[in-house]
Chains A and B, each alone.
Chain A
């Protein structure tokens, strides 16, 4: 049983560029979450999917951030016109139900130059 897989593990890009971060959850997990973690802090919620739909996107900081999960499995977090303040580790988690633990991937470390 594979865990949550995130690619790429590291991404370095220039300010203003577009980036896509991928998350492959544990097979069968219908709930998928994206979080963002800055250095020395706990993760902060971005968006939650139940199946294919975004059930809660209240954590997305602005309209440059968007996420999709078209077939209810793999999810992609998309960031347009990146800014230096977007630099952080982006973590993905999945769970079977609300009663079960959320399982996290190793994250994508995003650096905007």
Chain B
């Protein structure tokens, strides 16, 4: 059974610092991995999707890497801003299925 873990559960940084968010998964037979952002009381906003054949994806200040063999993904957010404060979730789709299996999220606070 696939398990996804995100450590730390919460993170606080001063504005301008780079953010590094970690995600690990137990079964490397994944189809793809997706990073989401969730604001309080809201649904999930898709940030980046990495196919299993890819090593990384970039969008603006966001960069996500994938190391399937070690079961890890990292989301980097450059030059953090207070508006980046939110919960960040990673999720994987296994090679044999369609459902997303989520980690517990990392709650980020960027202080002005």
Q: Are B43 and A56 in contact, CB atoms less than 8 angstroms apart?
A: no
B19 at the interface (CB under 8 A from A): no
A16 at the interface (CB under 8 A from B): no
Q: Are B43 and A91 in contact, CB atoms less than 8 angstroms apart?
A: yes
Residues from chain B with Cβ under 8 Å of A45 in the complex: 99-101
Beyond A98-B31, A101-B34, A102-B34, is A91–B99 a contact (Cβ under 8 Å)?
no
- The contact string, 1 if C-beta is below 8 Å from chain B, for chain A 41-75, is 11111001010000110010000000000000000
Interface size class of B (residues with CB under 8 A): 20 to 34
- Residue on A nearest B101 in the bound complex, by CB: A45
B75 at the interface (CB under 8 A from A): no
Residues from chain A with Cβ under 8 Å of B44 in the complex: 43, 91, 93, 104
Partner of B43, one of A33, A48, A98, A106: A106
Interface residues of B in 39-90 (CB under 8 A from A): 41-46, 49, 51, 89
Q: How many A-B residue pairs have CB under 8 A?
A: 63
Residues from chain A with Cβ under 8 Å of B36 in the complex: 104
Beyond A42-B91, A106-B42, is A98–B104 a contact (Cβ under 8 Å)?
no
Q: Are A33 and B99 in contact, CB atoms less than 8 angstroms apart?
A: yes
Taking the closest CB of chain B, its distance from the CB of A81, in whole angstroms, is 26
Residues from chain A with Cβ under 8 Å of B99 in the complex: 33, 45, 48, 56, 59
Residues from chain B with Cβ under 8 Å of A106 in the complex: 41-43
Residues from chain A with Cβ under 8 Å of B41 in the complex: 106, 109
- Residue on A nearest B99 in the bound complex, by CB: A45
Q: Are B100 and A43 in contact, CB atoms less than 8 angstroms apart?
A: yes
Residues from chain B with Cβ under 8 Å of A33 in the complex: 98-100
Interface residues of A in 90-113 (CB under 8 A from B): 91, 93, 98-107, 109
Taking the closest CB of chain B, its distance from the CB of A37, in whole angstroms, is 9
A: residues with CB less than 8 A from B are 4, 6, 31, 33, 35, 40-45, 48, 50, 55-56, 59, 91, 93, 98-107, 109
Instruction: Add 10 more A-B contacts to A56-B97, A101-B46 (CB < 8 A).
Output: A33-B100, A42-B102, A45-B101, A48-B99, A56-B99, A101-B34, A104-B36, A104-B43, A104-B45, A104-B46
